[in-house]
Amino acid sequence: MPELQGFKKTSNYPVYTADNLWDFINGAADTYLSYGFEDLHVTEYIKGKSVIKLEIYRHKDEVQAFGIYSSERSPTFRFINIGAQAYKADGSLNFFKGKFYVKIRTYSKSEKVLQTLETLALKVSDMLHGDSDMPATLKEFPDIGKKKNEETYIKESVLGHGFLTGAFRALYEVGDTQFSIFLFKKQSESEALKLVSAYLKSSGLEVDDQSGGKYVFKDGYNGDIFLSWKDNTIVIISGLSRDQTDLAGRYSSEILK
């Protein structure tokens, strides 16, 4: 852990793993574990009555780290350029870089101490291995209408279905219409076909063409669903009605071009 000028560095915490993460974050542990959590290192920096706590969570890969990071951010936070992305809010500074999710916080109201969070974050970011880039898949979402800083990665139970796993989601607003686009990048065409087949089967449908296609159907939980797929890429759009097929088609085609 880096030094912080004027602060005493100390750690009275064990290295947390999947076996004891509950001891540190209790009810939130299951969510972290679902995003490929591997270990957590905790250090405190103390100066008088001021305490800064640094938590470095390591996950399986950058997608999992982005997933847990994005699940805890809000577009209303103040974003800054540290790591792949960082934000400050209410005495906290959180960021992710590569496979790491970093959380720094203090209860001090001192402006100097609050500014020190950023100094520490920069030191930690320089120390950590990995690229300071957002996941490459996010670049595949069309820009028109996309709501800024609301992209997420959902590891399990996408749209409430256990067989839908591993989707990036972006929220859109076009005129008075709001909808969500879910983008799945599977390891192979056969894996994509398996997911598509399971979803269509749940609505009483079958795959017409094993190499790709477009479908519109009713999901009992989510209303009208637009599903398109090609090779190992699947696009699911929810929040639009059947009379907005052209709108759904434009966005699906832009991604699958």
- Given a cut of 80, whether residue 61 has pLDDT beyond it is yes
Pairing between β-strand 85-89 and β-strand 92-97 as defined by DSSP bridges = antiparallel
pLDDT of residue 114: 93
Calpha distance 214→233 (Å, rounded)? 12
| Chain-centroid distance, C-alpha 250 | 25
pLDDT of residue 26: 86
Report the pLDDT averaged over residues 177-204. 95
Question: What Å distances lie between residue 75 and 37, 72, 87, 105, 171, CA to CA?
Answer: 24, 10, 10, 19, 12
CB 17 within 8 A of CB 39: yes
DSSP H or E stretch at residue 122: helix 111-127
What are 200-251's pLDDT values in tens digits? 999 999 998 887 899 999 998 899 999 999 999 999 999 999 999 999 999 9
What is the percent of the chain with per-residue pLDDT over 70, rounded to a whole number?
Answer: 100
The letter for the amino acid at 41 is H
DSSP string spanning 6-21?
Answer: TSEEE---PPB-TTTT
3-class DSSP state of 248: helix
Instruction: Provide the 10 A C-beta neighbour count for residue 117.
Output: 20
Report the pLDDT averaged over residues 180-199. 95
Calpha distance 3→133 (Å, rounded)? 26
Question: What Å distances lie between residue 34 and 165, 183, 240, CA to CA?
Answer: 11, 19, 30
Exposure string of 56-65, with b = 16+ CB inside 10 Å and e = fewer, is: bbbbeebbbb
CB 195 within 8 A of CB 234: yes
Calpha distance 187→79 (Å, rounded)? 32
Cα of first residue to Cα of last residue in the chain, in angstroms, is: 45
Calpha distance 71→155 (Å, rounded)? 11
Confidence bin at 158 (pLDDT 50/70/90): very high
What are 42-52's pLDDT values in tens digits? 999 999 999 99
The overall average pLDDT reported for the chain is 95
Dihedral (Cα; 21, 23, 25, 26), 10-degree rounding: 100
- Given a cut of 80, whether residue 185 has pLDDT beyond it is yes
3-class DSSP state of 202: helix
Residue with tokens 């915490």: 13
pLDDT of residue 210: 80
Residues in the chain: 257
Give the chain's radius of gyration (CA, Å). Answer: 21
pLDDT of residue 212: 84
What are 94-117's pLDDT values in tens digits? 999 999 999 999 999 999 999 999
Quote the pTM value: 0.93
